[in-house]
Amino acid sequence: MKQIILASSSPRRHELLNLLEIPHQVLPCKEKEKEIPEDSSKTSIQKDFKKELIEVAKHKALCVYHSSLLEPDHPSLIISADTIVVLEGEIIGKPDNLDEAKRMLTKLCGKTHQVFTAICILDTQTDQLSCSTEETRVHMIQCSDKLIDSYLAAEQVIDKAGAYAIQGKGAALIDRIEGCYYNVMGLPLSKLISMLSKMGYNYLK
């Protein structure tokens, strides 16, 4: 069976592959990560920003594929992904500091936003590349300043899009979701399993 390479430094994606009991190696891209510019997000959405999100995920997979880290004689499936939070046509990225995190959560609370993840899988033996996207709608509760401050004091959010994580203490901010829970964590598992199956990898065997 082909080995699985996770082209991501995200601990959540690593945890989710472990949840599926899929043996894998973590080899994140060493280059500067491509991003969809937040200041042009509304224009990007009108032009179908999902294509740009796929390009970011594709870049991560190709970066690892062309690196010297892979074993050349060992066929692999490289999994890469990128996740963004979108509120009313605006991309909400990762906060640089706690003040920015509070502004993000204040903006998100009481509203419904979308979480989009692009997944790409690259077969190093055949050069086949498969990419897809998943969308989940997240409804947040109305949050007081005290609740936001308490959450930010209890959770590390600087590396998280939208300044929150749905798992753990972040559940206190969520009213309900429509769609895949794991997508909000950064890796929609049902879609991933389907894509792997179409590329000849069945982890249940």
Residues identified as active-site: 82
User: Residue 183: what residue type?
Assistant: N
**Other CB atoms within 10 A of residue 151 CB:** 21
Q: Decide: 91 and 44 in contact? Cβ < 8 Å.
A: yes
Q: Could you count the other beta carbons within 10 Å of the beta carbon of residue 154?
A: 12
Per the structure block, which two tokens stand in for 62? Answer: 């190709």
Between β-strands 174-178 and 90-92, what pairing exists: parallel, antiparallel or unpaired?
unpaired
Residue 144 and residue 158 in contact, taking contact as beta carbons nearer than 8 Å:
no
Residue 92: which of 141, 23, 42 has the closest Cα?
42
Per DSSP, 116 falls in state: E
Q: Can you state the percent helix, strand and coil of the chain, rounding each to 5?
A: 40, 25, 35
Greatest CA separation for the chain? 56
Q: Which residue, among 126, 107, 106, 129, has the nearest Cα to 118 in the 3D structure? A: 129
